[in-house]
Amino acid sequence: MTQAVPGSTTTIRHWLNGKEFVGTGGGTAPVTNPATGAVTGHVALADAVDARTVIDAARAAFPGWRDTSLAKRVDVLFRFRELLNARKHELAEIITAEHGKVLPDAVGEISRGQDVVEFACGIPHLLKGGFTENASTKVDVFSLRQPLGPVAIISPFNFPAMVPMWFFPVAIAAGNTVVLKPSEKDPTASIWLARLWSEAGLPDGVFNVLQGDKVAVDTLLDSRNIKAVSFVGSTPIAQYVYERGTATGKRVQALGGAKNHAVVLPDADLDLAADAMVNAGFGSAGERCMAISALIAVGDIADELIAKIVERTRTLKTGDGTCGTDMGPLVTKAHRDRVTSYVDAGAAAGATVVVDGRDVEPHGEAADLTDGFWLGPTLLDHVTPEMTVYTDEIFGPVLSVVRVDTYDEALDLINANPYGNGTAIFTNDGGAARRFQNEVEVGMVGINVPIPVPMAYYSFGGWKNSLFGDTHAHGTEGVHFFTRAKVVTERWLDPSHGGINLGFPQNI
């Protein structure tokens, strides 16, 4: 397997028709180990010709996969599930080496993606149509759902396995073919998954990987042979993907950024809330779209709650993700520097830096971690709504505390925010929680749960500037996104006759 590992300078290539594809673009970008800063490989950057070649492979494979029986498609999915269960630790090591997140977090990411694989194994139930006999005299009417064709998945760096798995299991099970365009920051997981699909028996051309940058993205968006696009990333890019993709008649689900708030009411269990804020604010180094980045403390609880959070952050170890640490580095030096600039700006604007992660000492066994992209847990108090540390999506381990007097002030802050991805409330008052879930203008709500990512049989996605398009990921909405409905009206004037066969009916 082509794999970027410390000390190597391998090239991570494209994948089509069941094998690696070198391409003709010639350009590459470095892939680094965020814990050391070392370049561990180079990823191919597709040109437009490479992109069209991969798209053509998906297009050529579609008729055969569409016409493959549902039973056989699901059988391949089950084999993929079993292989992934047995070997997910291999994939976790790849993710840690290229993204930086700690190994248990990488394993957890894969497990949540596996939930969607398992959901897709049950897709026959969700593809059932309806039937009306004798709707008119000797006329029957029935409905069915059919696949779209080749579809594209454009995924972000923060979850190189889980986010693609939000989409491709459902797309493939429904009979579509897939072109995955992973982030160029951590591209090797995509090739590992492609090999696993081949091992599971997926026909060549059904799952393809196109490495690259904006050229690859734009070619996917502009190609009329790509029938739908699923995207996860920042809000400006999500809006760009939505507008450019729909301009060529595609279905687009573009999941954008977030500024997730957690409201802690005076009656909340503050120990539970403090644990939750540390987990949701600093897990995966804050590089997740469901991270809590704004803590709204209601009433007079802020001092006590902050003290509990500070106590917990002192126990956290930031360092090499392979060495039993709690939090790894950020994905690139440029991103680390961007995140720290927000901490600097917050302090300059009057926020109090209660816990400062800018000078964290990394833990680990690597010979040299000094060039890693480190930022430890950071807690800012007395943040106000006009500060950039509050208004912008930071995507790092920075938790901002905003103090308000009432529930209504907290709710107004959330509803005024341009994002609407996830939110949470901590309270022991069922009436307050019920009111919050009804009034808050956010797509995913947690009650005493900090990161309300739904199970795979529900659908994932936010409101407002956190989603462009009408369809969320996975669950029933995901099945509907990757299929289209057809209604057939039929009349048969003569009965048909079959031959005699005493054998047991087979699903083939």
Point out the residues that are catalytic: 289
Contact status, residue 196 vs residue 117, Cβ threshold 8 Å:
no
Determine how β-strand 19-21 pairs with β-strand 228-232. unpaired
Tell me if residue 75 falls in helix, strand or coil.
helix
Q: CA torsion angle for 10, 11, 14, 19 (degrees, to 10)?
A: -40
Residue type, 437: Q
**Rounded distance, CA 244 to CA 154, Å?**
14
- Please work out, in degrees rounded to the nearest 5, the angle formed at the alpha carbon of residue 105 by the alpha carbons of 261 and 195: 120
Contact status, residue 371 vs residue 320, Cβ threshold 8 Å:
no
Tokens linked to 252: 């687009």
Query: Of 458, 433, 428, whose CA–CA distance to 446 is shortest?
Result: 433
Query: Of 279, 374, 361, whose CA–CA distance to 328 is shortest?
Result: 374
For residue 415, how many other CB atoms are within 10 A of its CB? 14
Query: Of 296, 286, 215, 211, whose CA–CA distance to 15 is shortest?
Result: 211
Determine how β-strand 207-209 pairs with β-strand 177-181. parallel
- β-strand partners of 45: 27
Residue burial 131-170, b: 16+ Cβ < 10 Å; e: rest: eeeeeeeeeeeeeebebbbbbbbbbbbbbbbbbbbbbbbb
Tell me if residue 194 falls in helix, strand or coil.
helix
Give the largest CA-CA distance in the chain. 85
Residue type, 15: W
Query: Of 457, 461, 485, whose CA–CA distance to 473 is shortest?
Result: 461
Tell how many helices (H) and how many strands (E) occur in the chain.
Answer: 15, 23
**Rounded distance, CA 35 to CA 33, Å?**
5
